Chains A and B, each alone.
Chain A
Amino acid sequence: MQNKLATVSQILPFSCVDGPGSRLVIFLQGCNYNCKNCHNPHTINWCDHCGDCISTCPTQALTLVTTKGISRINWDSDLCTQCDICLSVCPKQSSPKTRQYGIDSLVTLIHHQRHFINGITVSGGEASLQLPFIIELFKAIKSTEALSHLTCMIDTNGSLSISGWHKLLPVLDGAMIDLKAWQEETHRYITGRDHHRVFQSLELLSQHAKLYEVRLLHIPNISDFDSEIEAVATYLKQLPNSVRIKLNAFQHHGVTGEARQWGTCSEAQMLELAARLTERGVTNLVLPNVYL
């Protein structure tokens, strides 16, 4: 069972914003949404090894390796200067700069950091697309004595099915879920998907006391948390008191396409939304640290 592999776009050894305490964050490649406002669009799709990016790399860090008739892109991190040209030319919204990790190698890596972290968070892309791997990883952590104190959390868009959640719940300590919009059509407009499952996920995790944080991204004039303030506040208030309501302010960092034309969210706009939620009795709001 321990031979599953995950496609990892990045590992961050120390993060303060991905759940409680100090956390190691594993970003998995691939997402089932196609959000216009995505900050990391090159994490959306899996690379199909077309090779288009190879010739654009100024340092020859990319090569095509063919074994048994199957061609795969190979990325040499020693040669890479992180210029990101390859990301900009990729026609698939993907990246050649990913790595395959097995459970064992991740567990070894986490073991090395264990004194410094309170837990790990899997993020993305959309982490839940690699659900079997995550379950195995969390199981491995919980059953390794030196790591059993670490909490295992997921950062997700909430699109996982109820049956999927039931498989994950026994080894999951908490989830951070993005609620991208209140109205169905707004959600569709921003993400390209409906949000029926997101509400189901929020409800299920609340019931199991595993909802750590709901994240609302405020995009002035695009997202609808302000125009639907009454309904949003009523909904948030019925969530368990312990749930953090994290308000995120839309910025342009990494954003491509039409969302680049959307206005960013200023501190004043954020504070106004927060004040209106507070007025309506929403507590446990967490505001951005910086507006950049």
Chain B
Amino acid sequence: MAFQDNLVKIISDPNLSPKQKSNYLALAAEASLPYLPISKEINQAKEAGIICDMFEGHAPFKPRYVLPDYAKYLQQGSQYLELTQATNLDEALNALTIIYHHVPSVTSIPVYLGQLDDILMPYTDGVDAESIYRKLKLFWIMLDRTLPDAFMHVNIGPSDNIICRTILRIDAELKQIAPNLTFMYDPDITPDDLLQIATSNICECSKPHIANYPIHAKAYDGQGFGIVSCYNSLPLAGGANTLVRLNLKEVALKALNVEDFFANTLPHYCQLTYELIETRAKFLHEESNFFNSFLVKEGLIEESRFAPMFGIYGMAEAVNILQNNPELTENDLEKPSKHYGHNQTANQLGHRISKALDTIVKSTPVTYGYHGRALLHSQGGISIDKDVTPGVRIPYGTEPNPIAHIQALAEHHQYYTSGISDILTIDETVKYNSQAMFQLCKGALSLGFREFTANVASNDLVRVTGYMIKLSDIATFKQQGSRTNTTGLGAEAAEVTGILNRKPRVAAQELSPNYAE
């Protein structure tokens, strides 16, 4: 009965669209199947929240992330979709619009929309700038309205071209949540003025994210890579078959001390994580018949280019637990503390854990992997996470100044081949000083950051010329009745990006993978 009750709840939910309901119904159906056969020990670790399969489902029938070779598709057309090769920009955009609806992913919405400038540049000959702008703008609006998921990702750069510049212009103009955008930066190729446009866009709409192109490119072969979803870097014409993540906080709680953590606990739970990865990937590759797809037959993806993502989270808590640090309170924030993100010894222990994970992941074979291996990933959290910080991030609200923040975490970035994102909270004043954003971004990338992501709106501290204020304090102060005028910053940010009124339509399904009222 409980099962049917749940279906009824989904079906009659007042806030979901029919399409969203269908998705949740499908998830519920899959969840009603028995879980793939796994050992008792894995099951216990799953139940205890040490290992998490991201609610991908009990019987995976589609890969988590798929990155089709869209350039090849436009060049050859598609037998399955009954399309001949694209011969101009309109046909190319139309063909892309069509195929996006046939690219599966964990959320059923494509997470990768392609390296659009590379893909579209061959079709721009003879098209004037104004027409390119008009066509791309319509395309952009179409994406947001028909595929409303904040994790759907477009890539542009590192080269300077009219598609790249036009997309940056349109993205800043429309300030839509979807699609998400990554701008690849290569100091040897990307002119400073182009990066400057990208970083001033960040000041306006917190997009694009800036990817460190040389580092990502070096991690993959000549066929290339793409940045998808939550800043995951994956092989092009392939993707991720599954993502299983390990909760380092829980692993640390099981360890007697630091030595025990490295010698026993960590390797043991990594081993269990691998068993779950193997079971899930085997089912997808061997039982689900996914790889019969036209995407494979027409050469847009290759089975051998799919790899499992080995995710981790809760690094901050793990380090603090292993060092026996007391819980950080708000009063401690302004002074030197022993905590992860603030203290060199703590940070170095974190780096050591990342390095150990890297060694394990690079030396453990998997049946279905990229060159036979899984790819290490600093996982960005989902909505059920409580009291555990995403990936290797510094706990929200306790971050040091942006420079110290970058310096504390840069060392981790070399290890996380399939993606790591550390969101820097920067105070509002940067909006009016995009050169500062530019410099911060360059600094971060030069220190080895794989991906630069900045969150401008939500910082509680704001420096006004001459003093620094805490917005939360001011809010209370104002409520108590002062004559000062109000500018609700949150409200303002919401107005600018339209976040509030858009939430019902534009989802971030990866963050809430299971149905909850």
Contact = CB atoms under 8 A, between A and B. Distances in A.
Interface of A: 12-18, 20-23, 39-40, 77-78, 80-82, 112-113, 115-118, 215, 246, 248, 251-254, 263-264, 266-268, 286, 288-292
Interface residues of B, number: 43
A263 B484 CA distance: 8
Name the residue in A17, A20, A252 with the highest tally of chain B Cβ atoms < 10 Å from its Cβ.
A17
Contact of B439 (A12, A40, A118): A118
Interface stretch (B163-171, B277-285, B414-422, B461-469): B461-469
Nearest to B442: A115
B320 to A, nearest CB: 18
B440 A215 contact: no
Contacts of A246: 465
Contacts, number: 117
A15 B483 contact: no
A271 to B, nearest CB: 11
Q: Which 10 A-B pairs have the closest CB atoms?
A: A116-B443, A22-B436, A115-B443, A21-B435, A16-B433, A266-B485, A16-B429, A39-B467, A22-B439, A16-B436
Contacts of B466: 39-40, 248
Contacts of A116: 402-403, 406, 439-440, 443-444
B427 interface: yes
Nearest to A286: B432
B403 A289 contact: no
16 contacts: A13-B403, A14-B402, A14-B403, A16-B433, A17-B429, A17-B463, A23-B436, A40-B467, A81-B335, A112-B407, A116-B402, A116-B406, A116-B443, A289-B432, A291-B484, A292-B474
A14 B464 contact: no
Nearest to A255: B467
B483 A263 contact: yes
Contact of A16 (B404, B432, B483): B432
Interface in B460-517: 462-467, 469, 471, 474, 482-485, 487, 489
B7 interface: no
Contacts of B469: 253, 290, 292
Contacts of A17: 429, 433, 463-465
Nearest to A83: B331
A292 B403 contact: no
B462 A22 contact: no
Interface of B: 331, 334-336, 401-404, 406-407, 427-433, 435-440, 442-444, 446-447, 462-467, 469, 471, 474, 482-485, 487, 489
Interface majority SS on A: helix, strand, loop or mixed?
loop
B442 A77 contact: no
A108 to B, nearest CB: 14
A263 B487 CA distance: 17
A264 B464 CA distance: 15
Contact of B464 (A112, A117, A263, A292): A292
A289 B429 contact: yes
B335 A290 contact: no
A82 B330 CA distance: 12
Contact of B485 (A16, A252, A291): A291
A251 B433 contact: no
Given A15-B463, A21-B438, A118-B439, 19 more contacts: A13-B403, A14-B436, A17-B429, A21-B436, A22-B436, A39-B467, A40-B466, A115-B443, A115-B447, A117-B443, A118-B435, A252-B484, A253-B464, A264-B482, A288-B464, A289-B431, A290-B464, A290-B469, A291-B484
